[in-house]
Chain A
């Protein structure tokens, strides 16, 4: 059976498509080096308009053809105060543009002006090289380095120097462990259940926070933070998996890029941490056959986050201790304990 994999790779080659949700301007060229927080494309969100009712403003009856009085055409750029329409006579009256923008529609005596919106910026997400420009939408970026895929992100992107605060896989982050010397770095810690710790991280501020896990109660607060927060193992008190801990603890003071998007299994977007390295890696498979010898991470109590190796994929359905039945595998855990785990509770690591 082919299954999707989660990557915790000390060295790999990644290729990621970064696209604007709507057409816009691409700001990078093929071959250009980019950093995680570089803006590679931007688009103006066309979602603020003003409708000017010329007939009403000029107090004209219905039988008057207003279109003749409108001096503008669809597509014209206007500045605030520019005349849109006018009526001659002794008591000359004019209708002016209430704001700067572009006229997108004129009909029935109404002029619709599209206001200049704040540009929506698309960030590179990680340090790499643009290998392809996708016209009006974005770019394809490639890079070599260490890759760690998470399970939850607060929809922010940034990068900085990795600071390993976690003293072990079951580390717990508290506010008193964060100090001013960490300002501007990406801190790697273990579990966080303390709102004060997130607020302290914001006050410094950090450029990013990589955690093994976080209490569900902190999700609303984490979502409000401006810096990226990435969870590698999940929600709840889950120690950092050994594969991730090993990679992160051996790359202190390296650049670490965090693209903390929400995990979307449907479109394949996944929160990631990436450490660019000056070496060539090989692309990792996105799916593998689940079979003996594969390294897996357990999902769900009592083995949440524990890593093991598949010894045997059992045939048929296995009766689980809860009374449920499922396809299952025998897995040898890191402490040599053998456990039987349903296949849906196995996350294959590559």
Chain B
């Protein structure tokens, strides 16, 4: 894209994660925005610093060392705007995922209707639902109050009633919240987030504000068959950040230097995915996966409509949550070698105690990659229920998260993504190896040109196009003929059999036309029905891949056969397998 940059402003994006704090600098280079450099240091929200600002300062110092540009003035303040000598920066945005998870109680009317919408709303931010109160709740009102007192939530999400619909039941729920507030000292009262019948919004705000901080958002269920979470999600994100200001030392001070209100990393990541869905094919959706240390974010969007889920699994502290909710066998099934279950169990628990530690052996790397696969598998299946689109066909899939994107080899990242997500159809995998996607989502609020231009640079890695056909043929049967016609001349023909995972002979950035001809029992891409297709393909870091293993992936029950198969898949993508 060659969009001219009018009034170009440099942007500094700060991301405070639970493990790392990043300062990423963007500026105009040769008429286009580029990611210039990033400074990464350990986060300082907790012991012994208790101030996120310390980590940001260190990250900026690191950035100064890398770029030679001075961002901090003599009094350790950020120089804003850019100085005549070229130092400083014009705009600053902040995303964060550090901090304790918000505890939320959801209150609504029907369990499968408004309460379900409230739950979906709650899982769009870093938090957990600690109780749910609804019309079918058989507890007495005082028991519901006691449940709120015991749970000590930071926030109560109150929903219910279509617009101009039920109001008495909603008022009863609000009275319940007042009862809880009455018995709690002011500083311990949960805040209230109301996203129900809009006819009551003004009254609820007026009455509840006397008891606790109250946010009012558009109804998540304006009609019985209509759910619209997006407007409430944006307001909830802001409410959550405001609560975090009191819980994360230094966050509010940082907010004062930002050009926009700080935004949770998951929310900003969702914004970026939504933004991409407007840029890419409106028929296919865009999927974003951010595998963090404490949480996994799944963002799926089509034509600007976004489903956003934050799950408690992660490659640091989130491993403990995985172990609590997932049978160990579901994790060990992804191991390509025999390791006693106790060894795997012990290792993953120990890793959860040291969230930043790295695997030092082939076996422990395999254990972590197995856990990552299972997290992706669980997260995508959980999120699929909330999606605005059907199926698992996306273009592209954007992968973020340090563990996923800093794997020793790009093919390892791709194989984890394929095994965990199991997409179908034709998909391009984009890897966010500089952890920029969320920052770009935050920047998009103040500069809509920058994200588009940065996306087209080498700041993101194209892992490659993956073709995942669906076929009802038996394993080993020929299901597709592939002809790869190189732009530079020459061609390669391949027969694809059911069950194969194969890297096509296409070098990174090499251009070719791919001709696909499938058998009658194959669907190459559900969005464009049919068993044939010709399109241009550009080699990614892993070339291009055909994944004809079928969906869902079926792993042999016999351990030695399973290990053999997993090793075969590994060799297929690593180039060890001679075709």
A and B held together in a complex: yes
Asked if residues A112 and B359 are in contact (CB atoms below 8 Å), the reply is no
Instruction: List which A216-275 residues lie within 8 A (CB) of chain B.
Output: 216-217, 219, 234-238, 263-268, 270
Instruction: List which A109-136 residues lie within 8 A (CB) of chain B.
Output: 112, 114
Assuming A47-B149, A235-B349, A266-B99, is B183 touching A114 (CB within 8 A)? yes
Instruction: List which B474-498 residues lie within 8 A (CB) of chain A.
Output: none
Contact pattern, B 45-59, Cβ under 8 Å of A = 1, otherwise 0: 111111000000000
Asked if residues B358 and A47 are in contact (CB atoms below 8 Å), the reply is no
| B363 CB to nearest chain A CB (Å) | 7
Please report the C-alpha to C-alpha distance between residue A18 and residue B121 in the assembled complex, in whole angstroms.
36
Shortest beta-carbon contacts, A-B, top 8: A323-B408, A236-B346, A268-B47, A286-B48, A344-B356, A235-B349, A51-B142, A266-B46
Is B2 an interface position by the 8 A CB rule? no
- Which one of A235, A324, A325, A326 contacts B350 once the chains associate, using CB atoms below 8 Å? A235
Contact pattern, B 403-437, Cβ under 8 Å of A = 1, otherwise 0: 00011110000000000000000000000000000
Please report the C-alpha to C-alpha distance between residue A56 and residue B183 in the assembled complex, in whole angstroms.
23
| B50 CB to nearest chain A CB (Å) | 7
Asked if residues A321 and B353 are in contact (CB atoms below 8 Å), the reply is no
Is A36 an interface position by the 8 A CB rule? no
Is A49 an interface position by the 8 A CB rule? yes
Q: Which residues of B contact A300 (CB under 8 A)?
A: 350-351, 354, 357-360, 364
Is A338 an interface position by the 8 A CB rule? no
Among A216, A234, A325, A345, the one with the most B-chain Cβ atoms within 10 Å of its Cβ is A216
Asked if residues B360 and A49 are in contact (CB atoms below 8 Å), the reply is no
Is A46 an interface position by the 8 A CB rule? yes
Is B529 an interface position by the 8 A CB rule? no
Q: Which residues of B contact A23 (CB under 8 A)?
A: 185
Interface residues of A (CB under 8 A from B): 1-4, 22-23, 46-51, 104-105, 112, 114, 151-152, 193, 215-217, 219, 234-238, 263-268, 270, 286-287, 299-304, 320-326, 341-342, 344-345, 347
Assuming A23-B185, A105-B183, is B360 touching A267 (CB within 8 A)? no
| A117 CB to nearest chain B CB (Å) | 10
Asked if residues A301 and B183 are in contact (CB atoms below 8 Å), the reply is no
| B401 CB to nearest chain A CB (Å) | 14
Nearest-CB residue, chain B, relative to A328: B358
Among B146, B347, B348, B358, the one with the most A-chain Cβ atoms within 10 Å of its Cβ is B358
Asked if residues A104 and B358 are in contact (CB atoms below 8 Å), the reply is no
Instruction: List which B9-24 residues lie within 8 A (CB) of chain A.
Output: none
Please report the C-alpha to C-alpha distance between residue A344 and residue B358 in the assembled complex, in whole angstroms.
7
Asked if residues A4 and B350 are in contact (CB atoms below 8 Å), the reply is no
| A303 CB to nearest chain B CB (Å) | 7
Asked if residues B342 and A217 are in contact (CB atoms below 8 Å), the reply is yes
Please report the C-alpha to C-alpha distance between residue A140 and residue B188 in the assembled complex, in whole angstroms.
23
- Which one of A49, A299, A302 contacts B183 once the chains associate, using CB atoms below 8 Å? A49
- Which one of A50, A267, A345 contacts B357 once the chains associate, using CB atoms below 8 Å? A345
Asked if residues B46 and A322 are in contact (CB atoms below 8 Å), the reply is no
Asked if residues B358 and A219 are in contact (CB atoms below 8 Å), the reply is no
Is B450 an interface position by the 8 A CB rule? no
Q: Which residues of A contact B342 (CB under 8 A)?
A: 193, 215-217
Is B182 an interface position by the 8 A CB rule? yes
Asked if residues B353 and A301 are in contact (CB atoms below 8 Å), the reply is no
Asked if residues B345 and A322 are in contact (CB atoms below 8 Å), the reply is no
| B409 CB to nearest chain A CB (Å) | 6
Assuming A4-B48, A267-B46, is B346 touching A235 (CB within 8 A)? yes
Q: Which residues of A contact B184 (CB under 8 A)?
A: 46
Is B179 an interface position by the 8 A CB rule? yes
CB pairs A–B below 8 angstroms (18 shown): A51-B142, A51-B145, A112-B182, A215-B342, A219-B349, A235-B349, A236-B350, A237-B346, A263-B353, A266-B99, A267-B47, A287-B49, A300-B358, A321-B360, A322-B359, A322-B408, A324-B407, A344-B354
Nearest-CB residue, chain B, relative to A4: B48
Nearest-CB residue, chain B, relative to A288: B48
Q: Which residues of A contact B100 (CB under 8 A)?
A: 266
Asked if residues B142 and A268 are in contact (CB atoms below 8 Å), the reply is no
Contact pattern, B 357-370, Cβ under 8 Å of A = 1, otherwise 0: 11111111100000
Asked if residues A152 and B347 are in contact (CB atoms below 8 Å), the reply is no
Q: Which residues of B contact A46 (CB under 8 A)?
A: 149, 183-184
- Which one of A22, A236, A341, A344 contacts B349 once the chains associate, using CB atoms below 8 Å? A236
Please report the C-alpha to C-alpha distance between residue A304 and residue B361 in the assembled complex, in whole angstroms.
12
Please report the C-alpha to C-alpha distance between residue A286 and residue B48 in the assembled complex, in whole angstroms.
6
Is B140 an interface position by the 8 A CB rule? yes
| B114 CB to nearest chain A CB (Å) | 24
Q: Which residues of A contact B345 (CB under 8 A)?
A: 215-217
Asked if residues A341 and B360 are in contact (CB atoms below 8 Å), the reply is yes
Please report the C-alpha to C-alpha distance between residue A193 and residue B49 in the assembled complex, in whole angstroms.
36
Instruction: List which B225-239 residues lie within 8 A (CB) of chain A.
Output: none
Please report the C-alpha to C-alpha distance between residue A50 and residue B365 in the assembled complex, in whole angstroms.
55
Asked if residues A287 and B48 are in contact (CB atoms below 8 Å), the reply is yes
Is B141 an interface position by the 8 A CB rule? yes
Given contacts A47-B150, A323-B409, 6 further A-B contacts (CB under 8 A): A215-B345, A216-B345, A234-B350, A268-B50, A301-B347, A322-B359
Please report the C-alpha to C-alpha distance between residue A252 and residue B57 in the assembled complex, in whole angstroms.
46
Nearest-CB residue, chain A, relative to B100: A266
Asked if residues B357 and A299 are in contact (CB atoms below 8 Å), the reply is yes
Assuming A104-B183, A266-B99, is B360 touching A322 (CB within 8 A)? yes
Asked if residues B360 and A320 are in contact (CB atoms below 8 Å), the reply is yes
Contact pattern, B 34-75, Cβ under 8 Å of A = 1, otherwise 0: 000000011001111110000000000000000000000000
Please report the C-alpha to C-alpha distance between residue A345 and residue B361 in the assembled complex, in whole angstroms.
13
Asked if residues B46 and A345 are in contact (CB atoms below 8 Å), the reply is no
Asked if residues A301 and B357 are in contact (CB atoms below 8 Å), the reply is no
Q: Which residues of B contact A234 (CB under 8 A)?
A: 350, 353
Please report the C-alpha to C-alpha distance between residue A215 and residue B328 in the assembled complex, in whole angstroms.
14
Please report the C-alpha to C-alpha distance between residue A209 and residue B348 in the assembled complex, in whole angstroms.
23
Q: Which residues of B contact A49 (CB under 8 A)?
A: 142, 145-146, 183
Q: Which residues of B contact A320 (CB under 8 A)?
A: 358, 360
Q: Which residues of B contact A287 (CB under 8 A)?
A: 48-49
Q: Which residues of B contact A263 (CB under 8 A)?
A: 353
Contact pattern, B 62-101, Cβ under 8 Å of A = 1, otherwise 0: 0000000000000000000000000000000000000110
- Which one of A270, A299, A325 contacts B354 once the chains associate, using CB atoms below 8 Å? A299
| A309 CB to nearest chain B CB (Å) | 19
Asked if residues A105 and B150 are in contact (CB atoms below 8 Å), the reply is no
| A302 CB to nearest chain B CB (Å) | 6
Instruction: List which B167-192 residues lie within 8 A (CB) of chain A.
Output: 179, 182-185, 188
- Which one of A22, A48, A237, A268 contacts B146 once the chains associate, using CB atoms below 8 Å? A48
Q: Which residues of B contact A264 (CB under 8 A)?
A: 46
Please report the C-alpha to C-alpha distance between residue A56 and residue B145 in the assembled complex, in whole angstroms.
20
| B5 CB to nearest chain A CB (Å) | 33
- Which one of B48, B142, B343, B407 contacts A112 once the chains associate, using CB atoms below 8 Å? B142
Assuming A22-B188, A268-B48, A322-B365, is B360 touching A302 (CB within 8 A)? yes
Please report the C-alpha to C-alpha distance between residue A109 and residue B46 in the assembled complex, in whole angstroms.
48
Please report the C-alpha to C-alpha distance between residue A85 and residue B136 in the assembled complex, in whole angstroms.
31
Please report the C-alpha to C-alpha distance between residue A236 and residue B348 in the assembled complex, in whole angstroms.
9
Q: Which residues of A contact B362 (CB under 8 A)?
A: 321-322
- Which one of A1, A114, A286, A345 contacts B360 once the chains associate, using CB atoms below 8 Å? A345
Please report the C-alpha to C-alpha distance between residue A235 and residue B361 in the assembled complex, in whole angstroms.
18
Please report the C-alpha to C-alpha distance between residue A73 and residue B42 in the assembled complex, in whole angstroms.
55
Please report the C-alpha to C-alpha distance between residue A48 and residue B183 in the assembled complex, in whole angstroms.
11
Instruction: List which B316-372 residues lie within 8 A (CB) of chain A.
Output: 323, 342-343, 345-351, 353-354, 356-365
Q: Which residues of A contact B357 (CB under 8 A)?
A: 299-300, 342, 344-345
| A45 CB to nearest chain B CB (Å) | 8
